[in-house]
């Protein structure tokens, strides 16, 4: 059994952050989204993992994720030269996959459920494909499945204008080698991509064994700013444990679950958890409110922040308005003058400088 994680694409919905970085590396609770995917797969006992990367962000993914040692896995990187569809990603990965069955996981998705029960069902029933589904309010934005009472998948349609159900594909699939022949027998869709939904439909049309399981617990598609903030909130709520490896002075007031990394200093601050602060940060005379993640080497002085994600090496000083519901990229410099009463909301790309007058 192998696994294939898709970590390519242009991430257009998260621009400007994704002009300079991979969307799968945006941190949730200070950990890249991609790493949650890897950990979920390894927890299911699958350690031979291929990661599909793009020319634009592939080197960054390789440099930050490595060869798999940190996950007790073996990682192979597979270059997809253009975003030509999920089925195209499988097609170019066939030399890595060989004749093995595999899990396919979209690298910008987070799920609460472990994969073991789905993997066991896939193997015990000797299925050709098992797809995971979740009920959604707006099925037109997803691949949508029609499922019989016996769990068999009847029909799949990609982003239908008039959906037959509200069951959306969540971006986790289990496949036998028969998927390769199905992909070989489809053509690009109207948007110029080889659609995995059409390949699975080809399996259905040729009487292969395709079933669906409905996902329990949370599922997070982190393609947009608000999705990142929602994911950050849920993961901090579910998984954060208090830990202080830094220095906090006696004038600071901390409450709730708070994790502070090695080398970080907190001076005259008020922090209300859940909050995670990375390594070698400097916080002074600041308020850090719930559901905030601050990555490594960040400086925050005389500023109020809550429900936000701050990436590495950013410096935010003297902002008297409260920053809320924001995602701020790496190496950003921010300052504001004079004092204004309203809250501020940002989506700021890497290496930006902001001064609000």
CATH classification at residue 67: 3.90.550.10
| Domain boundary pick from 194, 213, 235 | 235
* Residue 247 and residue 231 share a domain: no
Cβ contacts of 117 within 8 Å, gap of 6 or more: none
* Residue 175 and residue 69 share a domain: yes
Q: What are the structure tokens assigned to 142, written together?
A: 């997803």
* Residue 269 and residue 206 share a domain: no
**Confidence at residue 347, expressed as pLDDT on a 0 to 100 scale:** 65
* Residue 316 and residue 206 share a domain: no
pTM value?
A: 0.86
Tally of domains in the chain: 2
| Domain boundary pick from 214, 235, 256 | 235
* Residue 338 and residue 219 share a domain: no
**How would residue 57 be classed by pLDDT, with cut points 50, 70 and 90?**
confident
* Residue 219 and residue 277 share a domain: no
* Residue 106 and residue 204 share a domain: yes
| Domain boundary pick from 211, 235, 259 | 235
Q: Give the single-character DSSP code of 302.
A: S
* Residue 113 and residue 49 share a domain: yes
**Confidence at residue 357, expressed as pLDDT on a 0 to 100 scale:** 52
Query: CA separation (Å) from 356 to 233, 318, 339?
Result: 28, 11, 10
**Parallel, antiparallel, or unpaired for β 219-221 and 109-111?**
antiparallel
Q: Read off the pLDDT of residues 207-236 as tens digits, 9 standing for 90 and up.
A: 999 999 988 888 877 767 888 898 899 999
* Residue 217 and residue 116 share a domain: yes
* Residue 279 and residue 211 share a domain: no
Radius of gyration of the chain (CA): 22
Average pLDDT over residues 172-201: 92
Q: What are the structure tokens assigned to 146, written together?
A: 């029609």
* Residue 172 and residue 266 share a domain: no
Helix axes 58-65, 33-43, angle to 10 degrees: 60
Q: What are the structure tokens assigned to 302, written together?
A: 């005389």
CATH classification at residue 309: 2.160.10.10
* Residue 249 and residue 154 share a domain: no
Which of 121-154 are b and which e, b meaning 16 or more Cβ less than 10 Å from the residue's Cβ?
ebeeeebbbbbbbbebeebeebbbbebeeeeebe
Identify the residue with better confidence: 151 or 303: 303
Q: With 90 as the cut, is the pLDDT of residue 163 above it?
A: no
**Structural domain that includes position 153:** 2-235
- Give the least confident one: 50-59, 115-124, 333-342: 333-342
């Amino acid at each position: 059994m192998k696994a294939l994680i898709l970590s390519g694409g242009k991430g257009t919905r998260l621009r400007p952050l994704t002009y300079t970085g991979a969307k799968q590396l945006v941190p949730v609770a200070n950990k890249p989204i991609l790493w949650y995917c890897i950990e979920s797969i390894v927890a299911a006992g699958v350690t031979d993992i291929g990661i599909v990367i793009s020319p634009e962000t592939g080197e960054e993914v390789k440099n930050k994720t490595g060869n798999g040692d940190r996950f007790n896995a073996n990682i192979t990187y597979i270059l997809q030269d253009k975003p030509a569809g999920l089925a195209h990603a499988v097609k170019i990965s066939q030399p890595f996959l060989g004749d093995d069955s595999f899990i396919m996981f979209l690298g910008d998705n987070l799920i609460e459920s472990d994969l073991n029960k789905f993997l066991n069902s896939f193997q015990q029933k000797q299925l050709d494909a098992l797809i995971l589904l979740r009920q959604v309010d707006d099925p037109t934005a997803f691949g949508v499945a029609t499922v019989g009472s016996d769990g068999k998948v009847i029909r799949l349609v990609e982003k239908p204008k008039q959906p037959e159900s509200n069951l959306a594909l969540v971006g986790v699939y289990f496949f036998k080698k028969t998927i390769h022949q199905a992909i070989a027998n489809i053509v690009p869709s109207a948007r110029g991509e080889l659609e995995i939904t059409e390949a699975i439909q080809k399996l259905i049309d040729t009487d292969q064994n395709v079933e669906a399981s409905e996902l329990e617990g949370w599922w997070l598609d982190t393609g947009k700013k608000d999705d990142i903030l929602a994911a950050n909130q849920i993961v901090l709520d579910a998984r954060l444990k208090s830990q202080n490896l830094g220095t906090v002075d006696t004038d600071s007031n901390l409450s709730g679950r708070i994790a502070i990394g090695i080398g970080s200093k907190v001076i005259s601050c008020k922090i209300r958890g859940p909050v995670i602060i990375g390594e070698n940060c400097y916080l002074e005379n600041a308020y850090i409110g719930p559901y905030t993640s601050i990555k490594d080497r960040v400086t925050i002085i005389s500023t109020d922040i809550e429900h936000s994600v701050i990436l590495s090496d950013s410096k935010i000083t003297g902002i008297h308005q409260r920053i809320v519901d924001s995602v701020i990229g790496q190496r950003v410099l921010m300052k504001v003058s004079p004092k204004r009463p309203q809250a501020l909301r940002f989506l700021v790309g890497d290496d930006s400088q902001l001064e609000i007058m």
